[in-house]
């Protein structure tokens, strides 16, 4: 083989390696890995993140946005006297809690949609029934307008608008939130396959 042919072959080998390396870099930037594993989508309008909030948990402690910063968490909305979808949702949430309760960077936020009834003692009794430790599973109450605004505008689990004191949020959706406060998935909390996907997606987020 001539010297010229060797130089040309070497050049194309280097060029191909450079191209593959650049392609891998682009794929990593888009998907998070050199192998093209797809990242979870970011839901909502561009730049959407969970807004600030201030609620009270089952121990009577104030919880705010600063308390979830740097955490992966699941948010839901329920009420303790519900006999419809809520018992099924929280039975499924028990499974999520059991899997991740020892993860220091994971939380569950369960917001009541009936704050007039669901006082701190009521939420405490409900949390105890689910064997929920307040260090990482919060049952939250507070101002009704703020609770509903969070369901609709922050977590995107309800598409209604606040219509006054007779307004009511009743939604089966769980929202998965990443460490930057972005919504990365919505899941029907009454469906086992959706809850299984939620747990698989939590695992993926923890690897990002």
Q: What is the CATH number of the domain that holds 91?
A: 3.40.30.10
Q: Is 202 within a domain?
A: yes
Nearest to 194 by CA among 98, 48, 27, 74: 74
Structure tokens at 109: 């936020």
Please indicate if the annotation marks 86 as binding a ligand: yes
Mean pLDDT value of segment 33-46: 79
Is residue 39's pLDDT more than 70?
yes
Would 41 be classed as within a structural domain? no
Return the ∠ at Cα 79 (arms to 76 and 85), rounded to 5°. Answer: 70
Pairing verdict, β 173-177 and 137-140: unpaired
SS3 content of the chain, % helix, strand, coil (to 5): 40, 15, 40
Q: Is residue 132 part of a domain?
A: yes
Which parts of the chain fold into alpha helices (H)?
A: 3-31, 85-100, 120-129, 144-149, 192-207
Q: Are residues 20 and 117 in the same domain?
A: no
Per-chain mean pLDDT for the chain: 87
If asked whether residues 70 and 138 sit together in one domain, one would say: yes
Residues 100 and 7 in one domain: no
Q: How far is CA 17 from CA 9, 11, 26, in A?
A: 12, 10, 14
Instruction: Tell me which of 35-49, 66-80, 192-206 is least confident.
Output: 35-49
Q: Could you tell me if 32 and 73 lie in one domain?
A: no
The reported pLDDT for the residue numbered 3 is 54
Range(s) of the domain holding residue 9: 1-36
pLDDT over threshold 80, residue 20: no
Position 166 scores a pLDDT of: 83
pLDDT at 134: 97
Which of the four pLDDT bands, split at 50, 70 and 90, describes residue 162?
confident
On whether both 27 and 129 belong to a single domain, the answer is: no
Average pLDDT for residues 156-164, to the nearest whole number?
88
Name the E strands within 35-135: 54-56, 62-64, 72-78, 106-112
**Number of domains making up the chain:** 2
Confirm or deny that 117 is annotated as ligand binding.
Answer: no
29 and 97 assigned to the same domain: no
Q: 184 or 15, which is more confident?
A: 184
Q: Given this model, what pLDDT does residue 4 score? A: 52
Identify the pLDDT of residue 98.
Answer: 97
**What is the average per-residue pLDDT within 133-155?**
97
pLDDT at 36: 52
CB 170 within 8 A of CB 146: no
Residues 173/186, Cβ–Cβ less than 8 Å: yes
Listed range (26-40, 43-57, 75-89) with the worst mean pLDDT: 26-40
Are residue 13 and residue 100 in the same domain, yes or no?
Answer: no
Give the model's pLDDT for residue 16: 45
């Amino acid at each position: 083989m001539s010297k010229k042919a060797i130089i040309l072959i070497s050049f194309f080998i280097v060029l191909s390696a450079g191209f593959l390396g650049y392609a891998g870099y682009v794929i990593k930037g888009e998907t998070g890995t050199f192998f093209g594993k797809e990242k979870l989508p970011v839901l909502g309008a561009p730049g959407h993140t969970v807004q600030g909030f201030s609620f009270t948990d089952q121990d009577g402690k104030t919880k705010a946005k600063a308390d979830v910063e740097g955490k992966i968490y699941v948010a839901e909305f329920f009420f303790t006297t519900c006999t419809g979808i809520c018992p099924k949702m929280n039975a499924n949430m028990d499974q999520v809690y059991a899997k991740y309760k020892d993860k220091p960077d994971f939380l569950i936020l369960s917001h009541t949609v009936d704050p007039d009834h669901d006082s701190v003692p009521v939420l405490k009794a409900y949390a105890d029934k689910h064997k929920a430790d307040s260090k990482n599973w919060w049952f939250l109450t507070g101002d009704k307008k703020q609770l509903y605004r969070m369901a609709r505008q922050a977590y995107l689990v309800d598409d209604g608008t606040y219509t006054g004191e007779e307004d009511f949020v009743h939604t089966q959706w769980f929202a998965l939130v990443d460490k930057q406060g972005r919504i990365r998935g919505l899941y029907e909390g009454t469906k086992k396959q959706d809850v299984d996907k939620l747990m698989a997606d939590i695992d993926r987020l923890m690897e990002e």
